[in-house]
Structure 1
Amino acid sequence: MARNFLFLLGSTRSGGNTETLARQAAEQLPEGDSARWLRLVDLELPGFRDGRHTEERDRPAPTGDAATLLDATLAATDLVIASPLYWYSVSTPVKHYLDHWVNWLYTPGLDFAQRMAGRTLWGVTALADPDHSAADPLVGTLRHSARYMKMNWGGVLLGSGVRPGEIAQDTEAAARAKTFFSSTPKPAALA
């Protein structure tokens, strides 16, 4: 069965190490699988307001770039968060995207949680530290988000690089990229 991958680029710059690593992994997708790429920083999303416990709980359907992002999210069988490690977690654009999931959960008629269940969440990140345990908070953020949404967990492809282009020196990450999307995802609750 063909899969539809949505690659969400969370860096504030184009062509960085995380994006390069994600593109290396995407080159290995089987024929028939599709890949769509969205750069989160280029989308004009409204500021997030948490209205869950107020009279603003039921949110109207998103419009503009937020609707584009929602539609792309729901069309994907596999979501790939490509976020550099910023202060030991996901980047601001990725956090902003995940915050919008809260509003989508409370958008009448959208059934966001039910529609996300069973899809697969993956991550790709480049970090400065060759000790990849520094990325544990980022990995936890994504894994716990997948578990909350009853998604499958594909894991996180980690690589090391500081300045743009340095990811090319991480031959171990390049080798992992070749088989990353061929691994079998697990229900996030069991990962």
Structure 2
Amino acid sequence: MTRRFLFVLGSARLNGNTERLARRAAEQLPAEVEQQWVSLTEHPLPDFVDLRHDKDHTRPTEGNTALLLDATLAATDIVIASPLYWYSLSSHTKRYLDHWSAWLRTPGVDFKATMAGRTLWGVTALGDDEPAVADPLIGTLYNSAAYLKMHFGGVLLGNGSAPGDVLKDTEALTRAKTFFAQDTPLARFPTP
């Protein structure tokens, strides 16, 4: 399968620090690698309704939910580009991941089997000098990858609060040059 990257932009700010860092990393991808960029601000998902125990799951056929489901299924690599908001993912991004729960039960999708073996990546900008504050965000992405038996490419961290600040983070910009070229291990839950 030809590599196809889906960049899911979860910021409430267009062209914010997280998106800028993700675009810098994406510039390094070979020209033949397809890229699709979807802003959750421009394509908002409806509130997630937990219907796990209902029998009436149907595949969305129109609107932003269908767009994101189809884009997710078509991607070999999913990049969650979410700024660090209150030590975790943005609400837009969390809502997107919550919809994965519905897609797990959507007839004809076989979401878990389809996602197995693909790669989940993260890009985030944070306004703190201590990278450990991003651990909850990283854990959410890692555990999501582990549950779906996906590879995990890690999270590219950049520092920036005001618009454009991340472009001053020379260490993050250097890491961005090779971020998508690294080996991605299969994510696994720790064994007791």
RMSD after superposition: 1.3
Identity of aligned residues (%): 60
Q: Which 5+ residue runs of structure 1 have no aligned equivalent?
A: none
Deviation at 1:145, TM superposition (A): 0.3
Q: Secondary structure at the match of 2:8?
A: strand
Deviation at 1:88, TM superposition (A): 0.4
For the pair 1:183 / 2:179, whether they are aligned, the reply is no
- Structure 1 stretches of 4+ with a deviation exceeding 4 A read none
Report what 2:138 is aligned to.
139
Report what 2:13 is aligned to.
13
In the superposition, the TM-score normalised over structure 1's length comes to 0.95
Equivalent pair of 1:58/1:108 in contact (CA under 8 Å): no
Deviation at 1:52, TM superposition (A): 1.2
Between the aligned partners of 1:34 and 1:108, the Cα distance in structure 2 is 27
Greater displacement, 24-33 / 76-85: 24-33
Q: Say how many residue pairs are matched.
A: 189
For the pair 1:23 / 2:59, whether they are aligned, the reply is no
Letter in 1 for 2:22: A
Q: Which 5+ residue runs of structure 2 have no aligned equivalent?
A: none
In the superposition, the TM-score normalised over structure 2's length comes to 0.95
Deviation at 1:3, TM superposition (A): 1.0
What is the CA deviation profile of residues 30-87 of structure 1, one whole-angstrom value per residue up to 9, with x for unaligned ones?
Answer: 231111100012114222111213xx24411113211111000001000000000001
Between the aligned partners of 1:45 and 1:160, the Cα distance in structure 2 is 28
Deviation at 1:190, TM superposition (A): 7.1
Between the aligned partners of 1:57 and 1:175, the Cα distance in structure 2 is 49
Report what 1:101 is aligned to.
100
Between the aligned partners of 2:172 and 2:77, the Cα distance in structure 1 is 21
Report what 2:58 is aligned to.
60
